[in-house]
Structure 1
Amino acid sequence: MTTDQRALTILMVDDNQDEVFLTRRLLRRDGIVNNFVSERDPTRIFDTLDHLIELGGDRNRIMILLDLNMPQIDGFSVLRKIRKSKRYKDVTVIMLSASDDEGDMLDSFDKGANGYMVKPFRADEFFTVLNNVSHVRYQLVQ
């Protein structure tokens, strides 16, 4: 992977702060120094995305790591809202879940996810998923 001046911003949407901390730590440990933002409240995803854009972010350079199981609204519902959004429908979304159920994986892809990872994941699994999202591959800053 090559570096790019306009690096990818990783937005993790997960109600569990421990998962956010562990994911950020894993990525940093393996040399990914991209901007990493987290949102604990999935109902605020569009507010968070809008704020990133206001700060000069490029919606084409945002990747969402979206937890599947959250108490207020599940990841499938959030994913549907993102895909229906005029402004953010093309943002890369990688679903995260403790479930390795094939049905959840297939539902994620049917609803428009670009990838699916089972938590906790390893860095090599993260890169495998990203390698299958062609327009993301070159944007990571290592």
Structure 2
Amino acid sequence: MSIKNILLVEDNPDDRELMRLAFSQGTIPHNLIIFSNGLEALNYLLGQGNIDETSPSPTEQNLTSMPALIILDLNLPQINGIEVLRRIRSYPQTKLLPVVIISSSNEPRDLIDSYINGCNSYIQKPIHFNQLQNFVREISTYWLTVNQLPPVFGVLNE
């Protein structure tokens, strides 16, 4: 099984650390890439700007290093999660990437806006760590082993 990238975009340092810990306890090989705001995540995905990430962005390497999954919080500094999602869906090289929204919000408007703008799933943030572990196990299993990604990202002629 090849190691797949997961991009986590979460501004809350406690939530980031809990997610990192939950993913580290999982059994599915992965590379967790974490950003604390939407601008950094978009710069990484689209190969723009200067960010402090040591690995080159997927567009600088090749399209096979694109994340197999993006886990995106809604309430982010600089560029909020809905706008990040809109931009991801507007570029051919990122248009088909699976995006799971994870938010503490259960507001119908957030849910509707997320799906209208192309999220693949919307999940309310688990409250307890054991729920978070279950969440990580389930999404890892589905998105990294069961789900089939298109054979080549970024080769969309519209």
Q: Structure 1 length normalisation: TM-score?
A: 0.77
Q: Deviations over 1:23-45 (max 9, x none)?
A: 01112223344100111131122
Aligned counterpart in structure 1 of residue 111 of structure 2, from 90, 105, 128: 105
- Report deviation, 1:127: 4.7
CA contact (8 A) 1:117 1:129 kept: no
How many residues align? The count is: 134
Q: Is the aligned partner of 1:66 residue 2:75?
A: no
Bigger Rg over Cα: 2
Higher RCO structure, 1 or 2 (CA under 8 Å, sep 6+):
1
1:118 aligns with one of 124, 133, 141: 124
Cα deviation code 1:61-111 (max 9, x no counterpart) = 431111101132210011001101122111111111011233322321121
CA contact (8 A) 1:27 1:33 kept: no
**Alignment-derived partner of residue 26 in structure 1:** 22
Per the alignment, residue 47 of structure 1 pairs with: 43
Match of 1:58, SS state, is helix
Q: Distance in 2 between matches of 1:103 and 1:136?
A: 31
Residue ranges of structure 1 left out of the alignment (5+ in a row)? none
Q: Name the CA shift for 1:100/1:128 in 2 (closer, same or farther; >3 Å).
A: farther
Secondary structure in structure 1 of the residue aligned to 2:41: helix
1:45 and 1:60, CA in 2 relative to 1: closer, same or farther beyond 3 A?
Answer: closer
Aligned equivalent of 1:137: 146
Unaligned runs of 5+ in 2: 48-55, 149-158
Name the SS of the counterpart of 1:90 in structure 2.
coil
Deviation at 1:18, TM superposition (A): 1.7
Q: Secondary structure at the match of 2:57?
A: helix
Write the letter of the residue equivalent to 1:27.
F
Sequence identity (%)? 29
